[in-house]
Structure 1
Amino acid sequence: MIGNMNPISRRRLLGLVALNSAAALGLDIVGSGPAAATGRREYSPAVVVGTGYGAAVTALRLGEAGIPTIMLEMGRLWDTPGADGRVFSDMLHPDRRSMWLKQRTELPLASFLWFGIDRRIERYTGVLDRVHHGDMSVYVGRGVGGGSLVNGAMAVTPKRATFAEAFPRVDADEMYRVYFPRAREGLGVNHIDPQWFAACEAYRYARVSGKHAERAGLTTRFVPSVYDFDYLRREEERAVPRSALASEVIFGNNHGKRSLDRTYLADALGTGLVSIQALRHVRAIERCGRPGGRGGARYVLTVDELDTTGRRVATRQLATRHLFLGAGSLGTTELLLRARDTGALPDLGGEIGQGWGPNGNVMTARANHAWDRTGATQSGMPALAIDAWDDPRHPVFAEVAPMPAGVELWVSLYLAITRNPERGHVVYDATSDRAVLRWDASNAQPSVQAAKALFDRLNAANHTAYRADLFGDTRTFETRFTYHPLGGAVLGVATDDYGRVPGHPGLYVTDSALVPGNLGVNPFVTITALAERNIERIVAEDLR
């Protein structure tokens, strides 16, 4: 089993100490804070908006290059245990830590036997947000580490042909030789031991789906992960506190997961030149009114400071010469659209907001026979997928998802990624002062057709049926939410080939907004690898 990371570096240790110290003191600023005050305005040579995958890579490489950098994160720092001794709540007993400024949880499964399963909670700046846009809702992580805090840790590299199709202007040879390996190493990707998988209780549910897939003539493969599989094995042995086996996943993991605050962000803080400011909502970007002033500032950000109820407690301005947007597909796109359409950056191109897609996400479930038990104890970290991506008519990569309810349910659940050419777009609505996603339910039909072709085949081979009681109505394919929002500032279209925004020196996009709508696998390894590639070029050409 490849379970353990390399011995911890001094830099990472320093970063982890900084994170833990900030948490112990109840601070929302981590690191030395390189901003210099100039009257009412502060200045930093580089600012990174967000702390997700692309943002974390960018900050680390800026710090290594000797460039003082501030990271701004809308969510909080998740390092302080609550009264129960845990940082995060689990899925069976959610509390205010679970959701961002909601009074009720909003789970991907809305019901069981048509009884609602969401619970009332206290309004709080929790770790998971579900942002609603008509026919599509988008799940995003809120906190230092972004989506790495709330995802299923599935670290999949796309098939080479799919990557080349999505990014025709990027050197695929170089990506697969240099940047994907670099990303996997930085993220701490590891692989499950097949012998342990075949015998453990944690993945009984996955083995049932694997057996059914084999019976249908379908291929399965193991899914690499940034959850420590060695830790998971010890969880099953009850040698360590449980996390993946304690119904912890979408509301955060208290143990075992190599989220960004444990890897790239810790390394970035360890350079001594990066600081993170949490509970900071970047509301607007504009050109610096005094170009050529302190440090040659080019951009000014309006930043709201929030408390843990989401209330704005202060507003300040931060100037910078180099601005990197890593606020996620919708967050980054909203900032650019607002700047363009309000006249703050009027020369931004019409390609901003285009090319958005939900990565072909479809969720579905099958009812199993009584003899096919999926298990009461299920790992929240998926480790197996049905790989039918090479099917010429209906490409599907279907991850076997858990239902960690603590009791036997006889249900097989799947998150399918399909090839879907449909694209939505994002526009700025001046009345609400927010970005609005234009995506119609009909756009999801190619995804439903592909998923149905695969799961019809599974059901026919195993004499099983769909579950129609899990999504709040009687539908069997759920396409009204996505875990994988992609696009809005597509690489080589809305930006140059390295994420630079044309006509705006010092302005960059470094996150999932660069990915054109559909990738075929979970996107975070690709986002990380692209960020590694792009920032290497930007540091060499723009910051030297």
Structure 2
Amino acid sequence: MTHTRTCDNGFKGPSRRTFIAGTGSILVGTALAGHASAAPAEAVSASTQIADGAGVVALVIGTGYGGCVAALRLAQAGVDVHMVEMGMSWDTPGPDGKIFANTTTPDQRSFWLRTRTKQPLSNFLGFPIDKAIPRCTGILDAEEFSGITVYQGRGVGGGSLVNGGMAVTPRREHFSDVLSSVNADEMYNVYYPRANAELGVGLIDPAWFDTTACYQYARVGRKHAQRSGFPFVFVPTVYDWNYMKQEAAGTVPKSALAGEILYGNNYGKKSLQKTYLPKIKATGRVTISPLHKVTSVAPAAGGGYAVTIDQINTTGDTLTTKTVTAAKVFFAAGSVGTSKLLVKLRSTGVLPNLNNEVGKGWGDNGNVMCGRANHLWDPTGPLQSSIPTAGIDNWASGGAFAEVAPLPTGIETYASFYLSITKNPNRAEFSWNAAAGKVDLSWQTAWKQTSITAAKTIFDKINAKEGTIYRTDLFGVYKIWGDHLTYHPLGGAVLNKATDNYGRLHGYAGLYVIDGALIPGNTSVNPFVTITALAERNIEKIIATDL
């Protein structure tokens, strides 16, 4: 990466309360849902900064799942593509020799343009755990709206850099609730298999799961679920399971077994840096501009679109503003990024023909977290893999699926921790706040009560059966539920409403949405496989008919 100005490197050594702060940051990382080879994470993108005045055939805004699918398939079809990414390329090791920050000691690499961490678990054992950090374009954005904080990945690879790797295809019987206008046969016969193959999805070896120390916490979760009559299911992930076995054997650098997840995973996880992006680079037709933020997309006088882009440095300052022309523009900035940009452009008269569905249908995938305090005869283990690989399925009767998530503190906590995905029908809307010059979101924290009620159908029953209680020290003082956040933002430019049934924005030929903004608020599971599969479906149609 070439930066005119860089952040203070922030490596100050352990701070006061290092154990408590480190513990908390591991805790929060494990809740994020997101495969990996034994090689360290490395740059795979052809990072060539786009020039002011350039003309491109296809411009992709964002480098997450949808953006990478679009770029790869367009390039394979012979189309030259430029990708614009607001975050860094994450290809340069820090002073510790690692590209990504250690989860136990957040530094300037950890958060997006914050001077203090904002960890999903704000407290542990009675102590607040956030800490001061240098302001920098770090990997995790905790974007605050009224009523909710949305956690998002920042960098080439998007959310794949920071999620927990749980790669779940929704149950077929639930699919019509997710995307009613999409042919389920095509998705389950063609596009889900394609996405799973490209992402490197795999299941843990059940025999190894039953014996390894690092999943003792999940075995306790299984015992408690089954004793209360709930189905316990293994969940596919994008982690390299052979690598994790080597971690456990002590023959390779530790990654999942070092708690790495929240601020990137240096070795074992197959993020987009190891799947789609190497294939994108190999086409020779795609270039990527990191630290470039799109601020406007307007019809150009000679056809196509004039795209205004701010090039920023690692402290968030604008270095220069560029305008480029693109024949076709693909919005892949994530549910929030895409929705905010489109709402702003419609409301300020830049793209006035966008319809009134733009900005609507946004949801949190029903995310809610909780912890349980177990008895001394149910230790969950001091060594815990940061990659969740199992869950409790009560969707059919209770509207909740709960990941059995780790708390890898390095000590025995006798605690079980869960991220639940619930059937929450509440949907918020993005709107332009002209006075403040920004986009607002109408989410209400009270709407999370639906998710809490659904999660309680699992955990009230388990607590009653086991004689256990909820933890109250993880999300504040005497607060049981983590109801203030989402890791799974979805919607805002919903398929077949804001767009046609393949992501073409109504009102403007050559503008497309190809990311999680298309999905109306809930997938019933971790969403990135569905985002990838839907992008594969849509770009195939777009290439066949529009190019």
Common topology (TM > 0.5): yes
Is residue 523 of structure 2 the alignment partner of residue 519 of structure 1?
yes
Residue 289 of structure 1 and its aligned partner are, at CA, apart by 2.5
- The answer as to whether partners of 1:4 and 1:230 remain within 8 angstroms in 2 is no
Which of 141, 145, 150 is equivalent to 2:153? 141
Which of 435, 442, 456 is equivalent to 1:438? 442
Is residue 278 of structure 2 the alignment partner of residue 272 of structure 1?
no
- Post-superposition Cα deviations, 1:486-508, rounded to whole Å, max 9, x if no partner, equal 00000011110000001210000
Query: Which amino acid is the alignment partner of residue 353 of structure 1?
Result: G
- Post-superposition Cα deviations, 1:164-201, rounded to whole Å, max 9, x if no partner, equal 12211110011000000000000011110000000001
- Post-superposition Cα deviations, 1:131-150, rounded to whole Å, max 9, x if no partner, equal 00021010000000000000
Unaligned runs of 5+ in 1: 9-15, 23-29, 292-297
Tell me the equivalent position of 2:10.
none
Residue 480 of structure 1 and its aligned partner are, at CA, apart by 0.7
Residue 114 of structure 1 and its aligned partner are, at CA, apart by 2.3
Tell me the equivalent position of 2:65.
53
Residue 161 of structure 1 and its aligned partner are, at CA, apart by 2.0
- The answer as to whether partners of 1:487 and 1:512 remain within 8 angstroms in 2 is yes
Is residue 328 of structure 2 the alignment partner of residue 322 of structure 1?
yes
Which of 59, 77, 88 is equivalent to 2:100? 88
Query: Which amino acid is the alignment partner of residue 481 of structure 1?
Result: L
Matches within 5 A, 1:381-392: 381-391=387-397
- The answer as to whether partners of 2:228 and 2:461 remain within 8 angstroms in 1 is yes
- Post-superposition Cα deviations, 1:215-256, rounded to whole Å, max 9, x if no partner, equal 111111111011111111110001110010101111100011
- The answer as to whether partners of 2:36 and 2:267 remain within 8 angstroms in 1 is no
Is residue 478 of structure 2 the alignment partner of residue 478 of structure 1?
no
Query: Which amino acid is the alignment partner of residue 164 of structure 2?
Result: G
Secondary structure of the 2:407 match is coil
Number of equivalences? 512
Secondary structure of the 1:41 match is coil
- Post-superposition Cα deviations, 1:363-401, rounded to whole Å, max 9, x if no partner, equal 00100111211111110000110011111xx21110011
Tell me the equivalent position of 2:354.
348
Secondary structure of the 2:396 match is coil
Is residue 133 of structure 2 the alignment partner of residue 127 of structure 1?
no
> Would the alpha carbon gap of residues 508 and 4 (structure 1) be closer, same or farther in structure 2, given more than 3 Å must change?
closer
Distance in 1, matches of 2:267 and 2:292, equals 26
Residue 32 of structure 1 and its aligned partner are, at CA, apart by 6.2
Query: Which amino acid is the alignment partner of residue 295 of structure 2?
Result: R
Distance in 1, matches of 2:99 and 2:133, equals 16
Distance in 2, matches of 1:243 and 1:352, equals 40
| More moved, 436-445 vs 178-187 | 436-445
Residue 4 of structure 1 and its aligned partner are, at CA, apart by 8.9
Residue 433 of structure 1 and its aligned partner are, at CA, apart by 2.6
Residue 473 of structure 1 and its aligned partner are, at CA, apart by 2.7
Distance in 2, matches of 1:431 and 1:410, equals 50
Secondary structure of the 1:478 match is coil
Residue 323 of structure 1 and its aligned partner are, at CA, apart by 0.3
Secondary structure of the 1:346 match is coil
Query: Which amino acid is the alignment partner of residue 357 of structure 1?
Result: G
Distance in 2, matches of 1:477 and 1:201, equals 28
Tell me the equivalent position of 1:66.
78
Secondary structure of the 1:352 match is coil
Tell me the equivalent position of 2:380.
374
- The answer as to whether partners of 1:55 and 1:510 remain within 8 angstroms in 2 is yes
Is residue 544 of structure 2 the alignment partner of residue 529 of structure 1?
no
Tell me the equivalent position of 1:414.
418
Secondary structure of the 2:311 match is strand
Query: Which amino acid is the alignment partner of residue 268 of structure 1?
Result: I
Distance in 1, matches of 2:320 and 2:48, equals 21
Is residue 342 of structure 2 the alignment partner of residue 336 of structure 1?
yes
- Post-superposition Cα deviations, 1:315-366, rounded to whole Å, max 9, x if no partner, equal 1011101100000111001111111111111111000011010000010010
- The answer as to whether partners of 2:232 and 2:391 remain within 8 angstroms in 1 is yes
Tell me the equivalent position of 1:457.
461
Is residue 214 of structure 2 the alignment partner of residue 202 of structure 1?
yes
Query: Which amino acid is the alignment partner of residue 320 of structure 1?
Result: A
Secondary structure of the 1:47 match is strand
Query: Which amino acid is the alignment partner of residue 329 of structure 1?
Result: S
Question: If the length of structure 2 is used for normalisation, what is the TM-score?
Answer: 0.91
Tell me the equivalent position of 1:150.
162
Distance in 2, matches of 1:4 and 1:345, equals 40
- Post-superposition Cα deviations, 1:489-538, rounded to whole Å, max 9, x if no partner, equal 00011110000001210000000100000111000000000000000000
Secondary structure of the 1:51 match is coil
Secondary structure of the 2:538 match is helix
Unaligned runs of 5+ in 2: 1-34
- The answer as to whether partners of 2:36 and 2:270 remain within 8 angstroms in 1 is no
Distance in 2, matches of 1:255 and 1:71, equals 25
Question: If the length of structure 1 is used for normalisation, what is the TM-score?
Answer: 0.92
- The answer as to whether partners of 2:36 and 2:269 remain within 8 angstroms in 1 is no
Tell me the equivalent position of 2:128.
116
Matches within 5 A, 1:2-81: 19=43, 30-31=46-47, 41-81=53-93
Is residue 492 of structure 2 the alignment partner of residue 488 of structure 1?
yes
Tell me the equivalent position of 2:367.
361
